[in-house]
Homo-oligomer: A and B are copies of this chain.
């Protein structure tokens, strides 16, 4: 009855379905879910509202689908799944990579929209909150703390509470991503925030690393 119908490359159907999702995401993330009407979505893609109901049962299902996509989004997969042991040994480079990933994601249109949707719906949609908490927050912080723990064993960084450190590393990145999102909304310059991504990694690393010799500069 539903499922993937396109046997060939990409049937017309699944193309418009994708277009609906893309359009809806843009509007939801800008005006909010409740304030976006089915007519808004249809209008933005040059189609009548009733057409959408051939692809989605109702408005809610559009949101549900977008939320479902969140789980597999880049926003929740900060780590390339290479060997943890190896990754940890790279020390600062690992952290720098995550910092860069955060920064790049802040400027990726698709991710930006998903982030804004997440932020707005989190406070009133329990499922979104769950996805944020489990996949976006917990999973990443936990993985991070594992890496940090390994770095401690390798004596690359000072011994300390790994989970606390993971939070301290994660929080500013999240915050700066939010700041970028807000600034872009008013078309303001983001350059000052951009530099904060890198400065954060630098500052954080200097705070935790074990100095090999002297290195006061």
Q: Among B123, B160, B165, B170, point to the contact of A116 (Cβ < 8 A).
A: B123
Q: What's the nearest-Cβ distance from chain B to residue A177, in Å?
A: 10
What is the copy number of this chain in the assembly?
Answer: 2
Q: Among B32, B129, B167, B196, point to the contact of A182 (Cβ < 8 A).
A: B129
The 0/1 profile, CB within 8 Å of B marked 1, for residues 174-215 of chain A is 111001011001100000000010011001001100000000
Q: What's the nearest-Cβ distance from chain B to residue A144, in Å?
A: 14
Contact, CB under 8 Å: B116 / A196: no
Q: List, in ascending order, chain B residues with CB within 8 A of A182's CB.
A: 122-123, 129, 132-133
Instruction: State whether the Cβ of A77 lies closer than 8 Å to any Cβ in chain B.
Output: no
Contact, CB under 8 Å: B124 / A31: yes
Q: List, in ascending order, chain B residues with CB within 8 A of A124's CB.
A: 30-32, 35, 120
Sorting the interface of chain A by its residue count into under 10, 10 to 19, 20 to 34 or 35 or more gives 35 or more
Contact, CB under 8 Å: A196 / B172: no
Contact, CB under 8 Å: B167 / A172: yes
Contact, CB under 8 Å: A123 / B171: no
Residues of A within 8 A of B (CB): 29-32, 34-35, 116, 119-120, 122-124, 126, 129, 132-133, 137, 160-161, 164-165, 167-168, 170-172, 174-176, 179, 181-182, 185-186, 196, 199-200, 203, 206-207
Q: What's the nearest-Cβ distance from chain B to residue A128, in Å?
A: 10
Smallest Cβ-Cβ distance to A125: which chain B residue? B32
Smallest Cβ-Cβ distance to A29: which chain B residue? B123
Q: Which of A137, A168, A181, A199 has the most CB of B within 10 A?
A: A168
Contact, CB under 8 Å: B120 / A186: no
Q: Among B160, B175, B186, B199, point to the contact of A161 (Cβ < 8 A).
A: B199
Contact, CB under 8 Å: A200 / B168: yes
A-B pairs with beta carbons under 8 Å apart, 14 shown = A32-B32, A34-B34, A120-B123, A123-B185, A129-B185, A164-B196, A164-B199, A167-B172, A167-B176, A171-B171, A171-B172, A171-B176, A172-B172, A174-B175
